[in-house]
Structure 1
Amino acid sequence: MAIDGIPKEMLAVQVVEFNKPYKIHKIPTPTQLGDYEILLKTVVASLCHTDSMVAEGKFPTKLPCIASHEGTGVVKAVGSKVTNFKVGDRVMSGVPKNACGRCYNCKGPNDWHQYCENIEGHIGVMVDGAFAEYHVVDCRTSCHIPDKVSYASAAPLACAGCTIYRALIVSEVKQGDWLAIVGAGGGLGHLGIQFALAKDINVIAIDARDEALELCKQAGAQHVLDARDGKEKVVKDVKALTDGLGVHAAINVSDHETAADTACAVTRMHGTMVQTAQPDRVCVAFQELVFRDIRIKGTLIAGQEYSQQMLDDVARYDIKVKTNVFYGLEEVTKMVELAHSGKMQGKAVCVVDRAEFEKEKATV
């Protein structure tokens, strides 16, 4: 369907060549929507570590590609078969777009759709994303933003929040259990701390930067360990807190070459380590797998059901998203510089529609 009342051109931030800076320029605004697609006027879009991987050509990205897979916006138009959203709704962008609906994964649980092998792509990764004045998303993966959650908070949740929330579910930790988060002082980790504490799970936060360790404390972690002390010391400290057994499960959100091994080492025998970080290789000593029976699970983001549940929990438990706010798509280059500096706490977010953002601040 064609879309009336939308500008012919929009400002966008694109990957036009791998391993080169973003190109920030005017391009045609999307004018056609598929049956299940929504056109959003972007309010806030966020930067994620995965964006650097896209820019480096580590995914089958179709160039040129608009960056950012963490977006929020206001619905301006809907496809012919969209029934769960209407014009004016506040939306957190779904990352998976146009799964085939026929394969093994699509016919499985709702949360499997993201693994569709025939999917058109994930926004900002393989197809156009949210660093633009308008972006197109799938109504079957996008979510309604609760009244108590701001656009700026919801944008990082589209990937970081969904990923760590699903990791908690995959870990199968229960109320009263012990959970370690390796890389806990980053964008995903500080959210994971809060989600776990809200569910009465005991959290041990592990990281290796001063800024990250401070963010762990700000997020509410009572047990914060410095990975720079060495694996042996970290394991000893974890066991001292857990009756000598180690945590029931660990989640690794760090792509450091030693992080996965550390996550396994602090986990008790027969426990689970959930890998969410995406280094080129996940390296774990064979003793952890063979002699200690540590089970490693991988996890991607989350389907619509878990994602909406996550947003509702953010509102219910007053989960705080640490953000570094930039105004205007022209500032994306500065966002990238901050993210790569190693000094950033939380997530860098870009306010694309300042008028809508300021209007919301008066009500949320």
Structure 2
Amino acid sequence: MQAIRLHEFHKPYSLESIPVPHPGPDELLVKIATASYCHTDSMVLSGSFPSKLPLTASHEGAGVIAEIGSGVSGFSEGQRVMCPIMAGRCGECTSCRGPDDRKHYCPKENHRGVTIDGAFAEYQLVDAQETNVLPDGVDFETAAPLACAGRTIWRAIKTAGLEPGQWIALVGSGGGLGHIGIQFAKQLGLKVIGVDAKDGALALSKEVGADIVVDARLGKEEVVKKVQEVVGGGEGVGADASIALADVEDAAALACAITKMHGVMVQVAQPEKVCIPFQEFVFRNVQVRGSLLCSKGEADEMLTSVAKNGLKIKMEKTAGLDKVKGLVEKVHKGELSGKGVVIVDEELATSARKQVQYCQSSFSNHEHAA
């Protein structure tokens, strides 16, 4: 099979032919329809993780089950699935035995496309216990970015612990995670404040449903003032929770500043250091929480919401693994607009797209008749 491989950190990928793997007892072999490029892939290229080289890149993939491991039940060949990042949880540690929302934090687990082979290939092995079956209303182009970006921002919103009608602020709202997060938050009944520092990002935030957008270039004091005006004004008032998605130096501090007293700030961005003046959270009892990926159960909930409500992901699509090199060059030059999605198998992607359109049309007609 063809695969995009990394042999040396700080060096370009290579497209090469490698053997098609066979699933172990607890694995599935997935024929990849689509795979996408994530910020984490750039971190892998730079050697930020204990990756085992050579490595097949990408941790965001979707496709159909081609082969099932001998110990796996509950799946069938031909099922459409979203490929999980996680693989090899021990099943014995406190994380594995804890609540569903902690089951991806096992210290022994590996991560596809990060520490072991990923989705930029014609076939990929995945851990069956982590794999999500795709609902009929979710196509492959949408599913691939949800495998990481979607799971990340869905979990962050859940970590905020809000109820419908409350306010959530996203700092970095017009980015890859942010514009998806706005839509998720609205699907969960939240009111959304989008904060960003670029005209295009602010426009995208408004386009996908933010109730109000605030330009971070106005400076902290003015941004805080505008947020307080939106939610009701007054000292100590602000968003019920915020999420820091931008990795600029002052993003976390700004997120805390616009969060109400006793509120929650969720840190998702991964700068080298997270810098928050103590006045922004100690004196105001703002709880700072870290968040990574959601579990399989939470991802099922996310996919159900997407199938029901739809999702607009800003993306640039390209066909063929041979186009990955050009895609990465655009990313590094800052020229990529939205998520970079690679159509690995055009026939599979087209078939799923038509199926989703048919399901959406049938649902719309049913609603109209009702």
- TM-score tier, shorter chain, comes to over 0.9
Counterparts of 2:8 and 2:107 in 1: how far apart (Å)?
A: 25
Which amino acid is 1:16 matched to?
Answer: H
Q: What is the rounded CA distance, in whole Å, between the counterparts of 2:243 and 2:276 in structure 1?
A: 14
Deviations 1:282-303 (A, max 9, x none): 1111112221111110111111
Distance 1:51 1:253 in 2: 17
> Shift in Å at residue 236 of structure 1?
1.2
**Separation of aligned partners in 1, 2:80 and 2:326:** 27
Confirm whether residue 103 of structure 1 aligns to residue 112 of structure 2: no
Deviations 1:39-81 (A, max 9, x none): 0000000111111011111111111111111100110011122
C-alpha separation in 2, matches of 1:295 and 1:179: 14
Q: How does 1:178-257 map to 2 (within 5 A)?
A: 178-244=167-233, 245-257=237-249
Alignment match of 1:136 (pick from 122, 125, 143): 125
Task: Give, as a single letter, the amino acid of the residue that structure 1 aligns with 2:304.
Answer: D
Please say if residues 5 and 57 of structure 2, whose CA atoms lie closer than 8 Å, have aligned partners that are also in contact. Answer: yes
Instruction: Give 1:27 deviation, angstroms.
Output: 1.6
Whether 1:76 aligns to 2:76 is: no
- Matched with 2:300 is 308
Quote the offset at 1:129 in angstroms.
0.5
Match among 259, 269, 274 for residue 266 of structure 2: 274
The question of whether the paired residues in 2 share the 8 Å contact of 1:204 and 1:225 is answered with: yes
The 10-residue stretch of structure 1 (354-363 or 195-204) with the greater mean CA deviation from structure 2: 354-363
State the distance in 1 between where 2:131 and 2:221 align.
43
Aligned to 2:359: none
Match of 2:112 in 1: 123
Is 1:318 the counterpart of 2:307? The answer is no
- Tell me if the contact between 2:155 and 2:294 (Cα under 8 Å) persists in the aligned partners: yes
> Cα distance, 1:225 vs. partner?
1.2
Separation of aligned partners in 1, 2:225 and 2:159: 26
- Given that 2:2 and 2:17 are in contact with CA atoms closer than 8 Å, whether structure 1 keeps it comes out as yes
Moved over 4 A (4+): none
Match of 1:153 among 117, 142, 146: 142
Aligned to 2:81: 91
* Letter matched to residue 102 of structure 2: W
Cα distance, 1:340 vs. partner?
3.3
Return the match for 2:323 from 309, 328, 331.
331
The amino acid of 1:49's aligned partner reads H
Letter in 1 for 2:168: L
1:265-308, CA deviations, whole angstroms, 9 ceiling, x for partnerless residues?
11011110001111111111111222111111011111100001
- Tell me whether 1:44 sits opposite 2:48 in the alignment: no
Q: The residue matched to 1:200 in structure 2 has which SS?
A: coil
Q: d(CA) in 1 for partners of 2:334 and 2:211? A: 24
Amino acid at match of 1:151: F
Distance in 2, matches of 1:222 and 1:335, equals 33
CA drift at 1:82: 1.4
Task: Pick which of 253-262 and 208-217 moved more.
Answer: 208-217
Taking a change above 3 Å as real, the CA distance of residues 111 and 200 of structure 1, as seen in their structure-2 partners, is: closer
Report what 1:18 is aligned to: 9
Deviation at 1:211, TM superposition (A): 2.3
Given that 2:79 and 2:133 are in contact with CA atoms closer than 8 Å, whether structure 1 keeps it comes out as yes
Cα gap change, 1:237/1:341 in structure 2, threshold over 3 Å: closer, same or farther?
farther
Aligned equivalents of 2:337, 2:259: Cα separation in 1: 27
Deviation at 1:104, TM superposition (A): 1.2
Distance in 1, Cα, partners of 2:322 & 2:200: 27
Equivalent-residue separation in structure 2 for 1:343 and 1:18 (angstroms): 22
Q: How big is each residue's C-alpha offset from its partner over 1:249-280, in whole Å with a ceiling of 9 and x where there is no partner? A: 00111111111111111101111000111111
Q: Is the 8 A contact 2:26 2:72 kept in 1?
A: yes
Q: Structure 1 pair 169/249, CA: closer, same or farther in 2 (3 Å)?
A: same
Counterparts of 2:25 and 2:102, CA distance in 1: 21
Structure 2 partner of 1:4:
none
AA matched with 2:254: T
User: What TM-score comes out, normalization by structure 1 length?
Assistant: 0.94
**Cα RMSD (Å) of the superposition?**
1.2
AA in 1 matched with 2:183: Q
| 1:56 aligned residue (17, 21, 46) | 46
Structure 1: gaps of 5 or more residues = 1-9
Distance (Å, rounded) in 2 between the aligned partners of 1:223 and 1:114? 34
Paired positions, count: 353
1:289 maps to what in 2?
281
Give the SS at the match of 1:73: strand
Report the alpha carbon displacement of residue 343 of structure 1 after superposing the two structures with TM. 4.5
**Deviation of the 1:359 alpha carbon:** 2.3
* Secondary structure in structure 2 of the residue aligned to 1:204: strand
Task: Decide whether the 8 Å contact of 1:190 with 1:346 is kept in 2.
Answer: no
Measure how far apart 1:357 and its partner are. Answer: 1.4
Write the distance in 1 (CA, Å) between the matches of 2:5 and 2:216.
36
Q: TM-score, normalised by structure 2?
A: 0.93
- The answer for the alignment partner of 2:252 in structure 1 is 260
Percent of aligned positions that are identical: 48
